[in-house]
Chain A
Amino acid sequence: MGETVTSEDHAQPLDKGLKVGAIGLVSAVVIGVASTAPGYSLAASLGFVTGAAGSQAPAILWLAFIPMLFIAASYFYLNRADPDCGTTFTWVTRAMGPIPGWIGGWAIIVADLLVMPSLASITGIYFFQLFGADNLANNKWWVMLVGAIFILLMTLICVIGIELNARMQFFLLAAEVTVLVVFAVVALYKVYAGDLPHSVDPSLSWLNPFAIKDYSALADGLVIAVFLYWGWDTAVTVNEETKDAKRTPGRAALLSTVVLVLVYVIVGIAAQAVHGASFLTNHSDDVLSATGNLVLGSPFDKFLIIAVLSSAAASTQTTILPAARSQLSMAAHRAAPTWFGKVDHRYLTPANATWFFGIFSVLWYVVLQSLSDNVLGASIQAVGLAIAFYYGLTGFACVVYFRKSIFTSVKNFLFVGVAPLVGGVMLFWMLYKAGSDYAQNTTDYGSVFGIGMSFVIGIGLILLGIPLMLVWWMRAPAFFRRGRDPFPRPEPDGTGPEAPPILGVGPIRDDVPLDEAGVFSADTATEEGDDGR
């Protein structure tokens, strides 16, 4: 019930208990899979996976899921301890302190930024192919124009807060997955019927990762494939919105996983069977329209192109929204200027952060596209590095945060200890192995001072965070004085004390002095400035 305020009644809190329209299991799965955007992800990266792993690309596609599954455990449990703030940024801050936490938050934004050129150019290329304008699809300036307009349009949509209703979203995703599966089934049928002149019969060895002899090739392929699964953790982190917050997120994550692995492996095998792995590598920037054209012919291949375009739009939205929210999170906890935390009064969205990210993405895309002919390859390799970094960091944060709970039960030991640790080690191994490989690769995408381009932009941008962090530290040291969370901490099963606030529990406003916003000194939980607004 609402609070009754009469003239003499000032101090009662507002009624915030009412909650409308919680998400069910199906919607959570839809959000998880749609955020991963299988159609776009395959279009953007399949040709690069075959480039790294050759015929064993399907093996990479399922293998890459394992570290993601392990890291998902850390998302699931950390999210229980701190369900409603940021993800990596707040969790790593709690577990390891503000410096790794800040870099973790920065890495999320870097990963989001790095994927934008790929989203924009896939959209540009497939847009022209939809209309059969192949000469324009091959002209990088026309592609750049469409891509840049697309980013700005999607940014505007995110600022206004236009969203598809659940039914429409479900329909679009179902259509996308159906088109992908139909493509795969028709392709395999034609391959076995001998209808395709250059087809290769699928072999079980395609699924065998041990057939990849070279560790570098394995790591290169995995880092790209990690990108394929990027985004499904959303299914885990929507839990505050779900009807049964204890069970729905875990089930949604598992179900969306099954859908993704199946779609990726089936489409991966089918696409490769059509004309062999090297055909996919040679068509890495339009892999699904090229194979779709061979398999389905015109005009049915257009369905595949439409599926990729709608998937890219969904993926752009699920890139811009979290990027803006991460900036807002950091601003809210005084780890970034309050400007980024401003909420638009009309649309109630983080408009400043959204526009900043959108416009910066366009600039970044234009610069990258102008510098490098294969902007897709460089940006996908680089984004894989950034994802591996912050996912891995999140895995370690889980182990560190719950370290006193790990040995209290077998379940905790496996899911809060072993899985996140193994996931983190796998991702950091990939980061190291593929990173050093990319650093030496100066031929594919160009180089800076003899260091490969993908390494320079991926690791370079993450490292750029350090001077930025130092500047902010000097300007506003409050966040950096915060220690790690004190013990006792929340338990993985959701019992125990609540996690204390990060910092900055007041409104995001310039006129709230940093030190009055609820400063934390190491291991003492004091909360100041929260005057029960």
Chain B
Amino acid sequence: MAGEIVVGCDGSPGSRAALPHAIELAQSFGVPLVLVFAYGQNPVGGRTGDLKRAVEDLGTEWLDEARDAARAAAPGLVVERELVDGRAAESLVLVADRLDARMIVVGANGFGQLVNSIIGSVTSRVLQDATVPVLVVPPAQD
């Protein structure tokens, strides 16, 4: 099946803001919603096993939360969850390519340009590398 809406879920304010838009899009196109959490760890330093498991637990929690929100907002919507062992941006693009998805939805991280240039922004990486349209949603302003 192609045409899915792929949305990044990492528990951040940006990704929480992105989710309702992704749900709405999937619903109006009548396509499945794919929730993606990616968790690449630095291989330097060895022994990532237990850390990986702890991160998977967190990711599963967020994916479940997002799935429940999607179900509540749009009963009958097909929702898939994917935990990917890889860097966030790379993984989102990869999942979208593999599914032949219609669009990637991500939240903006809300950091400034300086911080992003140091720690790298998942969102700008996705924008650079994606082969499908990307929707960027800013975090909710309080």
Chain B residue numbers with a CB within 8 Å of A241 are 43, 48
Q: At the interface, yes or no: B102 with Cβ under 8 Å from chain A?
A: no
How far, in Å, is B93 (CB) from chain A's closest CB?
10
Q: At the interface, yes or no: A522 with Cβ under 8 Å from chain B?
A: no
**Chain B interface secondary structure, helix, strand, loop or mixed?**
mixed
Q: Are A84 and B86 in contact (CB under 8 A)?
A: no
Selected from B39, B54, B86, the residue in CB contact (under 8 A) with A507 is B54
Q: Are B46 and A237 in contact (CB under 8 A)?
A: yes
CA distance A504 to B32 in the complex (A): 35
Q: Would you list which residues of chain B between 48 and 90 have a CB under 8 Å from chain A?
A: 48-58, 60-61, 63, 67, 71, 75-76, 78-87, 90
Q: Are B42 and A343 in contact (CB under 8 A)?
A: no
Query: Quick check: which of A117-125, A200-208, A317-325, A428-436 contacts chain B, the rest being far away?
Result: A317-325
Chain A residue numbers with a CB within 8 Å of B84 are 18-20
Q: Are B85 and A18 in contact (CB under 8 A)?
A: yes
Q: Would you list which residues of chain B between 4 and 59 have a CB under 8 Å from chain A?
A: 10-12, 32, 34, 38-58
How far, in Å, is B132 (CB) from chain A's closest CB?
17
Q: Are B47 and A20 in contact (CB under 8 A)?
A: no
How far, in Å, is A111 (CB) from chain B's closest CB?
14
The answer to whether A318 and B45 touch (CB under 8 A), given A20-B40, A21-B86, A343-B54, is yes
Q: At the interface, yes or no: B94 with Cβ under 8 Å from chain A?
A: yes
The size of the chain A interface, using a CB distance under 8 A, is 55
Q: At the interface, yes or no: B95 with Cβ under 8 Å from chain A?
A: yes
Q: Are A318 and B94 in contact (CB under 8 A)?
A: no
CA distance A7 to B75 in the complex (A): 7
The answer to whether A332 and B81 touch (CB under 8 A), given A23-B43, A241-B48, A325-B48, is no
Q: Are B90 and A21 in contact (CB under 8 A)?
A: yes
Range class of the B interface residue count: 35 or more
The answer to whether A35 and B40 touch (CB under 8 A), given A18-B91, A85-B50, is no
Chain B residue numbers with a CB within 8 Å of A321 are 42, 44-46
Query: Quick check: which of A55-63, A159-167, A263-271 contacts chain B, the rest being far away?
Result: A159-167
Q: At the interface, yes or no: B119 with Cβ under 8 Å from chain A?
A: yes
Chain A residue numbers with a CB within 8 Å of B55 are 343, 348
Q: At the interface, yes or no: B118 with Cβ under 8 Å from chain A?
A: yes
Chain A residue numbers with a CB within 8 Å of B119 are 160-162
Q: At the interface, yes or no: A475 with Cβ under 8 Å from chain B?
A: no
Name A's B-contacting residues (CB within 8 A).
Answer: 2-7, 14-16, 18-21, 23, 27, 31, 34-35, 83-87, 160-163, 169, 233-234, 237-238, 240-241, 317-318, 320-322, 325-326, 328-329, 332-333, 341, 343, 345-346, 348-350, 507-508, 533
Kindly list 4 other residue pairs between chains A and B, CB separation below 8 angstroms, not including A321-B46, A507-B54: A23-B43, A160-B119, A348-B41, A507-B58
Lowest 8 A-B CB distances belong to which pairs? A20-B86, A321-B45, A84-B49, A2-B80, A507-B57, A234-B46, A237-B46, A329-B50
25 A-B pairs with C-beta separation under 8 A: A4-B79, A6-B76, A14-B81, A15-B80, A16-B85, A18-B82, A18-B94, A18-B95, A21-B86, A27-B43, A84-B48, A241-B43, A317-B45, A321-B42, A321-B45, A322-B47, A325-B51, A328-B50, A345-B58, A348-B55, A348-B58, A350-B51, A507-B57, A507-B61, A533-B57
